[in-house]
């Protein structure tokens, strides 16, 4: 293109770290608005299809959301022998809910999300993400603060899945990444229960939050297993953590995972199977070492010191 001819294409800049970003060519801005808590946009990009953007950062993309949501949900659901009652904290797109409901053993899913406007926008502009999950009779949607709900409710759950915004910015989301919060989650798990949490970037040069989440969980649970997948729309390895007092996911063979999927999961999974399960938990040595050195226990009183 000549220097004298303006570039009429529209671009969206997604800041990944203070020193690194990703630029997406945009075809259409489908929605732009603001809720009580955050800005909400839905954009259609050339490379990743339709994307949900919260506070200027891509949260999910049409092209690869299945990788993220299967990674978050399927290992913990499959590792549990028979998950019947499940709690989801966050997950406004409905894709986490969709993946939980694939399991034939599930009798009830309670989803607690603070921002009902995100849920509304996603149901309208990203219906394929939830694929009808909000209308499933097993779904109970609660609009409210997930920490308050978990601390106050008396019900126990077989699996609890934490799918919340980044803890990096000062704000209420940070209070859902602390030792006190994870202790409350542990108290809400039924005997033999397990939890999974999205655990931020696991890039080798950006491990502060990932390491802190893992280290904090290790102070609460007996078995803590971090794992990761590559997310193209995040231009990054992305971390997750499975924690339990009884379940050790790295001890389950690929063949056993495949058998459980075949017997318990409706439909066909696109990213997760037995071989993928084994690979997810095989984190490279340099990342393990860097995370170990960076890991700090997060408490309600130490939020800004860690993040």
Residue 291: its pLDDT value, please? 83
Average pLDDT in the 265-283 region? 97
Show the domain range for 93.
Answer: 65-299
Same domain, 209 and 72: yes
99 part of a folded domain: yes
Q: Give tens-digit pLDDT for 81-102.
A: 999 999 999 999 999 999 999 9
CATH code, 74: 3.40.50.150
Same domain, 153 and 196: yes
Residue 64: its pLDDT value, please? 97
Q: How far apart are CA 153 and CA 128, in angstroms?
A: 31
Residue 5: its pLDDT value, please? 44
Same domain, 57 and 153: no
- Looking up tokens 């859902």, which residue turns up? 176
Q: Give tens-digit pLDDT for 14-53.
A: 988 888 899 999 999 999 999 999 999 999 999 999 999 9
Instruction: Report which secondary-structure segment, H or E, holds 108.
Output: strand 108-113
Same domain, 110 and 32: no
Residue 1: its pLDDT value, please? 40
Residue 9: its pLDDT value, please? 66
CATH code, 38: 2.30.140.10
Token couple for 75: 């290992």
Where is the domain boundary, 46, 61, 76? 61
Same domain, 17 and 111: no
Same domain, 70 and 53: no
Residues in the chain: 307
Q: Is 174 left (phi over 0), alpha (psi -120 to 50) or beta?
A: alpha
Residue 259: its pLDDT value, please? 98
304 part of a folded domain: no
Same domain, 101 and 114: yes
Would the pLDDT of 305 be above 50?
Answer: yes
139 part of a folded domain: yes
Where is the domain boundary, 41, 61, 81? 61
Same domain, 216 and 273: yes
Q: Give tens-digit pLDDT for 52-63.
A: 999 999 999 999
Same domain, 30 and 147: no
41 part of a folded domain: yes
Overall number of domains in the chain = 2
Same domain, 286 and 165: yes
Q: Give tens-digit pLDDT for 278-288.
A: 999 999 898 88
Task: Spell out the alpha helix ranges (H) of the chain.
Answer: 65-79, 95-101, 116-125, 127-130, 146-152, 179-188, 208-218, 254-264, 274-280, 285-294, 303-306
Global pTM exceeds 0.75: yes
The lowest-confidence range among 223-232, 259-268, 290-299 is: 290-299
pLDDT band at 307 (very low <50, low <70, confident <90, very high): low
Give percent of the chain above pLDDT 90. 81
218 part of a folded domain: yes
Q: Give tens-digit pLDDT for 142-201.
A: 999 999 999 999 999 999 999 988 775 555 678 889 999 999 999 999 999 999 999 999
Which residues fall within 8 angstroms of residue 127, CB to CB, at 6 or more apart? Answer: none
Same domain, 41 and 164: no
Same domain, 140 and 256: yes
Q: Confirm if 44 and 58 have CB atoms less than 8 A apart.
A: no
93-121 burial, b for 16+ CB within 10 Å, e for fewer?
A: bbbbbbbbbbbebbeebbbbbbbebbbeb
Where is the domain boundary, 37, 61, 85? 61
Computed over every residue of the chain, the mean pLDDT equals 92
- Looking up tokens 């960076």, which residue turns up? 294
Give percent of the chain above pLDDT 70. 94
Residue 60: its pLDDT value, please? 96
CA–chain centroid gap for 301, Å, is: 24
4 part of a folded domain: no
- In terms of Cβ atoms closer than 10 Å to its own Cβ (0-12, 13-18, 19+), residue 157 is buried
199 part of a folded domain: yes
Q: What is the dihedral of CA 82, 67, 188, 81, to 10 degrees?
A: 10
104 part of a folded domain: yes
Would the pLDDT of 121 be above 80?
Answer: yes
Q: How far apart are CA 18 and CA 144, in angstroms?
A: 31
Catalytic residues: 163
């Amino acid at each position: 293109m000549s220097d004298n001819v303006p570039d009429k294409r529209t671009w969206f800049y997604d800041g990944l770290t203070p020193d690194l970003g990703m630029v997406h060519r945009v075809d259409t801005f489908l929605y732009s608005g603001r809720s009580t808590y955050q800005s909400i946009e839905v954009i259609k990009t050339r490379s990743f299809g339709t994307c949900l953007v919260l506070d200027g950062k891509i949260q999910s993309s049409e092209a690869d959301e299945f990788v993220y949501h299967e990674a978050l949900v399927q290992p913990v659901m499959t590792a549990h022998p028979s998950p019947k009652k499940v709690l989801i904290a966050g997950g406004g797109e409905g894709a986490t809910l969709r993946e939980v409901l694939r399991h034939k053993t599930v009798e009830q899913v309670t989803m607690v999300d603070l921002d009902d406007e995100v849920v509304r926008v996603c149901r309208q502009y990203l219906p394929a993400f939830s694929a009808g999950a909000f209308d499933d009779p097993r779904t109970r949607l609660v609009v409210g603060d997930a920490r308050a709900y978990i601390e106050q409710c008396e019900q126990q759950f077989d699996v609890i899945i934490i799918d919340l915004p980044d803890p990096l910015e000062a704000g209420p989301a940070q209070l859902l990444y602390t030792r006190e919060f994870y202790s409350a989650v542990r108290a809400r798990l039924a005997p033999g229960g397990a939890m999974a949490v999205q655990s931020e970037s696991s890039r080798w040069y950006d491990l502060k939050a990932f390491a802190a989440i893992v280290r904090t969980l290790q102070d609460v649970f007996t078995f803590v297993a971090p794992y990761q997948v590559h997310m193209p729309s995040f231009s990054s390895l992305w971390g997750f953590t499975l924690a339990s007092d009884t379940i050790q996911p790295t001890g389950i063979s690929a063949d056993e995972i495949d058998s459980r999927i075949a017997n318990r999961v409706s439909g066909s999974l696109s990213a997760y199977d037995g071989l993928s399960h084994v690979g997810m938990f095989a984190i490279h040595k340099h990342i393990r070492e860097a995370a170990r050195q960076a890991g700090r226990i997060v408490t309600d009183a130490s939020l800004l010191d860690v993040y």
